[in-house]
Amino acid sequence: MSMDKTWINYKDKHDKSAKDELIVHYVELVKIISGRLYTDYNHHVEYDDLVSYGILGLIDAIEKFDYTKNVKFETYANIRIRGAIIDQLRNLDWVPRSLRHKYKRLEEAMDMLHNEGGSDYTDFELADKLEMTIDELGRFLSEVSTFSIVSLEEKFEEHVGFDIKADYKDFEPEKSLDVKVMTQLLKEGIDTLPERERLIISLYYYDELTYKEIAAVLGISESRISQLHTKAIARLQNILKD
């Protein structure tokens, strides 16, 4: 259903009922984004809270969107909604300090291995660098998996209000250059990932498959997908940390 007339009524005629209609029409987008983030955050936050934060982002997007420009509202709103949710979670500081510390250890260990011999190192080498057994490493990666997603999302949101799969042309002009640079860095970073990690990032962020669906595609367990995703995000963090 085209919403062109509704946008005109709201933006040009300042019809408040048209704004309410836009909110109702696009609220499903908030639910979709909230549901995905609820899974990303490993159920450590309430789904209804995410929806509430996301609706604030949707309202902000509706108020600031310029329907006369050649930009899809869904793309623009996705960025605003995710940004609003992440901002609220950051303000709540819900991630335990111990988990942040563990993730920092992982980043540092992977950074050292990268500096010593590039990105092609094994789980055994990573476990050795962290002074763990291979089983302990598996549990460690699973434990920090939630924060790995949050950490990367926060980094982009902190710098430019960025969605990992967004196109820099969808941003306001004053941000588009920063986003273009960050996008290029991210693409270059993804290209350096080991093949399986690169595939997981592509399937998860760009094709929007769940861990369960990716596990079925690759023929490995969901927990292993989670571990490989955590490693991939930590590698990208090291590339983008400067």
Same domain assignment for residues 221 and 101: yes
Q: Return d(Cα 169, Cα 197) in angstroms, integer.
A: 27
Nearest to 145 by CA among 78, 240, 229, 73: 229
Domain final residue pick, 92, 113, 128: 92
Token pair 């982009």: residue: 156
Residues 155 and 208 in one domain: yes
Rounded to the nearest 10 degrees, what angle do helices 134-160 and 97-117 cross at? 100
Residue 77: CATH number of its domain: 1.10.1740.10
Instruction: Specify whether 106 is located in the same domain as 61.
Output: no
- Which tens digit of pLDDT belongs to each residue from 42-71? 667 889 999 999 999 999 999 999 998 888
Average the pLDDT over each of 4-13, 52-61, 117-126, 172-181 and give the range with the smallest value. 172-181
Q: Which domain holds residue 171?
A: 97-240
| Number of structural domains found in the chain | 2
pLDDT value, residue 38: 83
Angle between the N-to-C axes of helices 73-92 and 134-160, in degrees from 0 to 180, rounded to the nearest 10: 120
Beta carbons of 211 and 224 less than 8 angstroms apart: no
Point out the domain boundary residue: 76, 92, 108. 92
pTM: 0.65
Of the pLDDT bands very low, low, confident and very high (cuts 50, 70, 90), residue 12 is: very high
Pair (235, 154) in one structural domain: yes
pLDDT digits over 130-178, tens only? 999 999 999 998 888 777 766 666 655 555 444 554 544 444 544 454 5
Please, what's the b/e burial string for 32-47 (b: 16 or more CB within 10 A of its CB; e: otherwise)?
A: ebbeebbebbeeebee
Same domain, 73 and 141: no
For residue 192, give Cα distances in angstroms to 32, 166, 171: 30, 20, 27
pLDDT of residue 48: 94
Verify that 33 and 103 share a domain, yes or no: no
Structure tokens that stand for 87 in this block: 């901002």
Mean pLDDT, residues 30-43: 81
Which domain CATH number covers 221?
1.20.140
DSSP 12-72: TT--HHHHHHHHHHHHHHHHHHHHHHHHHTTT-S-HHHHHHHHHHHHHHHHHH--TTSS--
Predicted pLDDT of residue 3: 84
**pLDDT score of 91:** 78
* Statement to judge: residues 19 and 137 lie in one domain: no
Measured CA distances, 97 to 8, 147, 189, 221, 235 (Å): 48, 11, 27, 29, 21
Last residue of a domain, one of 58, 92, 126: 92
The predicted structure's pLDDT at residue 161: 46
Residue 200: CA atoms inside 13 Å, Cβ hemisphere, count? Answer: 25
At residue 235, the pLDDT reads 85
Statement to judge: residues 162 and 204 lie in one domain: yes
| Integer Rg of the chain from CA | 20
- Which of 21-30, 55-64, 139-148, 209-218 bottoms out in mean pLDDT, i.e. has the lowest? 139-148
Query: Mean per-residue pLDDT for 19-42?
Result: 89
